[in-house]
Amino acid sequence: MLNPAKRVEEIELSLIRKMFEVTNPDAVNLGIGEPDFDVPQNIKDAMKRAIDEGYTKYTSNKGLIELREAIVDKLAKDNNIKTDAENVIVTCGASESLYAAAQALFGKGDNVLVPNPGFLSYYTCVQLAEANVVEVTTPMENDFKMKVDDVQEKIDKNTKGLIINSPSNPTGAVMDKEDIKGIADLATDHDFYIISDEIYEKIIYGTKNHSPAEYCDNVITINGFSKTYAMTGLRVGYMVANDEVTENLLKVHQYCTANAPSVSQVGAIEALTGPQDSVKKMVSEFSRRRDLIVSSLNDMGYETVDCQGAFYVFPKVDRPMEFVKAAAEAGVISVPGSPFGSLGEDHVRMSYANSYENIEKAMDILKDLDY
């Protein structure tokens, strides 16, 4: 019998996706991280016109120049990041950007700092690059925020990179500006790369996202359109880096996917350059749902941080696996926290990317949960 490569054999399939596949359609799904909103109409219309006008061929490997220029303008306006279109690579979602960055930057013997708890893809992408995962703890007592001192104590001579995610999946934490800047300074002083996953950048409440690329050149900024514009299935994201790194990122992207879907790229241009009213409405509704789910869980005795971004809560519960099983049987799907790192073992991730009414229903079910 032929065996797969060892680096793949050691990887587990995503528990989140497993639960998504087996979900009872009648249950309230608080497990999947996908906005329940529709793609804004102006974006749909742009893609329909693109099909009619024949935008169904290959694009440049880096993506449509009009989209890359729009991304450059967005980064300058929103993030104070100065770059040019040649350093932007449009990808098949932020997930491809993350994989490509890990493959281009890391290898055997490299240490890569990863948040714990953190999105499970970070661990996997580092492992597939055959590099070493070094966890940076982001405990509940710090509101799950990565702190500069915690990063500094993990740096050694083999440190090649750090992955940060703000706002965070699974915790909803938003890093403080002083920590972003301090970590950027560490990357400069110790000469390592920062991969900054900013896919939830616009889904933020009462605070502001800060990008390390504002303060440091050793940064690969990753973002996309899945969360902000509910374009999850259209698979379009991007990564931005300096001249030194871009060519190597392009090599991985070129041989992996060639280019992001052409029609989706046209939709992404409209997303960035068109009206932003739909984004504001969506974030306002997410904020309302967050208030409901956080207060409800705390009232039940499940300690929950008042998250500042994304659309996740990460309550602390007794016997999480039993909780998840009992909740699923009662009609509420959630995800155990253990796949997100050792600090997630006493937690459960819930997504409030579901209707207010469904969240109310879920909270009513959990209030009477006996496990």
pLDDT of 307-319, one tens digit each?
999 999 999 999 9
Among 184, 130, 140, CA closest to 162 = 184
DSSP state string for 157-199:
TTEEEEEEESS-TTT-----HHHHHHHHHHHHHHT-EEEEE-T
Task: Say whether pLDDT at 128 is over 70.
Answer: yes
38-78 pLDDT, tens digit per residue, is: 999 999 999 999 999 999 999 999 999 999 999 999 999 99
DSSP state string for 338-366:
GGG-GGGTTBEEEE--S-HHHHHHHHHHH
> Pairing mode, if any, of strands 159-165 and 335-336?
unpaired
Reported confidence tier of residue 211, pLDDT bands at 50, 70, 90: very high
27-39 pLDDT, tens digit per residue, is: 999 998 899 999 9
Contacts of 271 (CB under 8 A, 6+ apart): 40, 43, 225, 228, 229, 231
254-296 pLDDT, tens digit per residue, is: 999 999 999 999 999 999 999 999 999 999 999 999 999 999 9
Burial label for 198, CB within 10 Å (0-12, 13-18, 19+), is buried
Taking the C-alpha atoms of residue 226 and residue 34, their distance in angstroms, rounded to an integer, is: 8
Task: Say whether pLDDT at 126 is over 60.
Answer: yes
Taking the C-alpha atoms of residue 30 and residue 208, their distance in angstroms, rounded to an integer, is: 26
Predicted local distance difference test score (pLDDT) of residue 17: 54
Predicted local distance difference test score (pLDDT) of residue 212: 98
Tell me, yes or no, if the pTM score tops 0.85: yes
Burial label for 40, CB within 10 Å (0-12, 13-18, 19+), is buried
Predicted local distance difference test score (pLDDT) of residue 271: 98
Taking the C-alpha atoms of residue 32 and residue 35, their distance in angstroms, rounded to an integer, is: 9
Q: 10 Å Cβ neighbour count for 6?
A: 8
Name the percent of the chain lying above pLDDT 90: 92
